[in-house]
């Protein structure tokens, strides 16, 4: 109540949205010229170069857009759309976003990879609402490029420790009883660039290897049962993709037996997009993205982990003692404030809605605390419904910005009681040489001029 009154009495602050078109052609040119330097410097330099134009043009002017005399021409002069005939139905058989939203795009981080086929594009988290990622903005991670595979020719095989090896067509799979569930997918390398230091400017690039969809498909356990799987001896499953990357991953049967792992064809009410594995992908809730095999063509049931190339020598956690940890698959509890976030500009003092996303590979998010003073004081954010297991959870918190520098952080706790660590806490356990599984608390510095910067507190 008190907060609501406060909200009404204060004017609402305006926000310059994130720099969705952050890297213009010129910025990318500069980036290429800097490519001689070390990789991390290279990436950091790339963003710095691209950011120059941005900060210079940031203004805090403009008051209320309604002139004090004469009224608002946007109200007084009837616009064309109120006077003339609009466009007919099916102008576009498959609708697109408004042209005014053209800058909301998934984007590739300049200098991160040598080719566009073995690369990543990041979801524009700062521009999204709720918990669902629109299919066209789902992040992408390909090891050998993507394909649009003819579903009538796609086959899915189940073999190994089964008494009746099976080959399914898409038609056969889609006739079986299906389930639909919301889950996040996060690449194990999300936030990787930030392990040592601040590296990239916006939450699209720090946290955008993250998406959440309603997936539809058949529980893998159903297909194993059809194949007469030996569920006593069969303790590990190999999942294999059909693209040239020969992406193969070991999935523990404990995850499969619970019925959570899906052989999915649907994503947010339609078929998977080609970039996301059309016509078939594995959904492994709570587990890092690499195990969500796309273009899924085979699973084999076995009695031990396979030590495939993408688990024996890649996707390892380098620990402080120099040893590499294998099979750390779970995405621990994590959160990020998406507004205000890096690259945005607060144009006035006043009310702001702090909003962000929280998730845990172990189940539901129980609580999100938000600090605006770098972690000294915390307030509990509102969790918006639905709060689902192993799905993104949206949180919101009222905030009145007084125009002074502020450091905004979010700290999530999941239903197991696990609390998201600070960078010092994470580094104490994991060191600084890792790539994967960085779930540290993110800090955004709101400067007194309103510009928001990515920072790390030691």
Ligand X SMILES: Nc1nc2c(c(=O)[nH]1)N[C@H]1C(S)=C(S)[C@@H](COP(=O)(O)O)O[C@H]1N2
Q: Which residues bind Mo ion (CB under 5 A)?
A: 141, 187, 289-290
From first CA to last CA, the distance across the chain in angstroms is: 37
**What does 292 bind: ligand X, Mo ion, none (CB cut-off 5 to 8 Å by kind)?**
ligand X
**What does 138 bind: ligand X, Mo ion, none (CB cut-off 5 to 8 Å by kind)?**
ligand X
Residue 413 CB, nearest distance to ligand X (Å)? Answer: 25
The contacts of residue 406 (CB under 8 Å, 6+ apart) are 372, 373, 445, 446
- What DSSP element (H or E) covers 230? none
Cα three-residue angle 352-355-356, rounded to 5 degrees? 155
Closest CA to 215 of 150, 288, 105, 135: 135
Give dist(CA 231, CA 227) in Å, integer: 11
Mark the segment that binds ligand X (CB under 6 A) among 136-144, 160-168, 223-231, 411-419. Answer: 136-144
Using CB under 6 A as the binding rule, whether residue 14 contacts ligand X is answered as no
The DSSP 8-state label assigned to residue 419 in this structure reads B
**Binding residue for ligand X (CB under 6 A) from 285, 289, 356, 421?**
289
Question: Closest residue (Cβ) to Mo ion?
Answer: 187
Give dist(CA 246, CA 127) in Å, integer: 34
Give dist(CA 329, CA 69) in Å, integer: 63
Residue 132 CB, nearest distance to ligand X (Å)? Answer: 14
Using CB under 6 A as the binding rule, whether residue 256 contacts ligand X is answered as no
**What does 430 bind: ligand X, Mo ion, none (CB cut-off 5 to 8 Å by kind)?**
none
Among positions 81-110, residues that touch ligand X (CB under 6 A) are none
Site string for ligand X, 186-215 (x = CB under 6 A): -x----------------------------
Locate the DSSP E strands across 108-196. Answer: 119-121, 140-142, 155-160, 166-169, 179-186
Residue 282 CB, nearest distance to ligand X (Å)? Answer: 8
Give dist(CA 391, CA 374) in Å, integer: 27
Count the residues of the shown chain that bind ligand X, applying the rule CB under 6 A: 21
* Cβ-based nearer residue to Mo ion, 220 or 290: 290
**Binding residue for ligand X (CB under 6 A) from 103, 119, 135, 245?**
245
Site string for ligand X, 337-376 (x = CB under 6 A): ----------------------------------------
Give dist(CA 92, CA 376) in Å, integer: 52
Mark the segment that binds ligand X (CB under 6 A) among 226-234, 240-248, 385-393, 405-413. Answer: 240-248
Residue 289 CB, nearest distance to Mo ion (Å)? Answer: 4
Using CB under 6 A as the binding rule, whether residue 276 contacts ligand X is answered as yes
CB 411 within 8 A of CB 342: no
Residue 403 sits at φ, ψ, to 5 deg, of 90, 0
The DSSP 8-state label assigned to residue 34 in this structure reads G
**Binding residue for ligand X (CB under 6 A) from 16, 44, 106, 141?**
141
CB 79 within 8 A of CB 73: no
* Cβ-based nearer residue to ligand X, 253 or 284: 284
Using CB under 6 A as the binding rule, whether residue 138 contacts ligand X is answered as yes
* Cβ-based nearer residue to ligand X, 395 or 436: 436
* Cβ-based nearer residue to Mo ion, 187 or 441: 187
Using CB under 6 A as the binding rule, whether residue 292 contacts ligand X is answered as yes
Give dist(CA 351, CA 394) in Å, integer: 19
* Cβ-based nearer residue to ligand X, 105 or 276: 276
Our separate counts of H helices and E strands in the chain read 11, 25
**What does 247 bind: ligand X, Mo ion, none (CB cut-off 5 to 8 Å by kind)?**
ligand X
* Cβ-based nearer residue to ligand X, 123 or 410: 123
**What does 27 bind: ligand X, Mo ion, none (CB cut-off 5 to 8 Å by kind)?**
none
**Edge-to-edge strand list for the sheet holding 296-302:** 166-169, 155-160, 296-302, 236-241, 248-252
Give dist(CA 295, CA 144) in Å, integer: 12
Contact residues: ligand X, CB under 6 A: 138-143, 185, 187, 241, 243, 245, 247, 275-277, 289-290, 292-295
């Amino acid at each position: 109540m008190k907060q609501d009154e406060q909200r009404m009495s204060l004017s609402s602050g305006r926000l310059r949205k994130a720099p969705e078109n952050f890297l213009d052609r010129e910025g990318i040119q500069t980036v290429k010229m800097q490519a001689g330097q070390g990789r991390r410097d290279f990436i950091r330099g790339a963003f710095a170069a691209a950011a120059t134009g941005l900060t210079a043009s940031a203004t805090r002017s403009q008051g209320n857009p309604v002139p004090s005399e004469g009224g608002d021409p946007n109200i007084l002069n009837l616009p064309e759309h109120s006077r003339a005939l609009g466009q007919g139905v099916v102008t576009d058989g498959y609708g697109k976003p408004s042209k005014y939203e053209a800058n909301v795009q998934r984007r590739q981080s300049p200098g991160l990879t040598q080719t566009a086929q073995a690369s990543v594009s990041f979801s524009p988290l700062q521009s999204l609402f709720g918990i669902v990622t629109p299919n066209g903005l789902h992040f992408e991670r390909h090891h050998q490029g993507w394909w649009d595979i003819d579903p009538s020719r796609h086959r899915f095989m189940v073999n190994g420790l089964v008494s009746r090896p099976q080959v399914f067509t898409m038609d056969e799979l889609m006739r079986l009883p299906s389930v639909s569930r919301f889950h996040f997918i996060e690449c194990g390398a999300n936030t990787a660039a930030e392990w040592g230091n601040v590296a990239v400017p916006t939450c699209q690039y720090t946290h955008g290897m993250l998406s959440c969809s309603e997936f539809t498909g058949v529980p893998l356990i159903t297909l194993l049962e059809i194949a007469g799987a030996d569920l006593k001896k069969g303790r590990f499953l190999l999942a294999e993709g059909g693209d040239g990357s020969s992406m193969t991953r070991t999935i523990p049967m404990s995850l499969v037996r619970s019925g959570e792992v899906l052989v999915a064809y649907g994503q947010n009410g339609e078929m998977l997009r080609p970039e996301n594995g059309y016509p078939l992908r594995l959904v492994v809730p709570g587990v890092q993205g690499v195990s969500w095999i796309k273009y899924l063509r085979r699973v084999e049931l076995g009695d031990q982990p396979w030590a495939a190339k993408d688990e024996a020598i890649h996707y390892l956690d380098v620990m402080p003692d120099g040893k590499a940890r294998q099979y750390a698959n779970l995405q621990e509890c994590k959160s990020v404030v998406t507004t205000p976030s890096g690259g945005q500009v607060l144009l006035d003092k006043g009310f702001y809605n702090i909003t962000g996303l929280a998730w845990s590979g172990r189940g539901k998010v129980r609580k999100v605390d938000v600090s605006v003073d770098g972690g000294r004081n915390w307030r509990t954010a509102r969790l918006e419904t639905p709060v689902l297991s192993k799905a993104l959870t949206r949180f919101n918190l009222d905030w009145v910005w007084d125009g002074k520098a502020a450091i905004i952080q979010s700290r999530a706790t999941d239903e197991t009681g696990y609390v998201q660590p600070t960078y010092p806490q994470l580094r104490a356990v994991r060191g600084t040489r890792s790539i994967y599984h960085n779930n540290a608390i993110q800090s955004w510095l709101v400067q007194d001029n309103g510009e928001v910067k990515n920072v790390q507190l030691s």
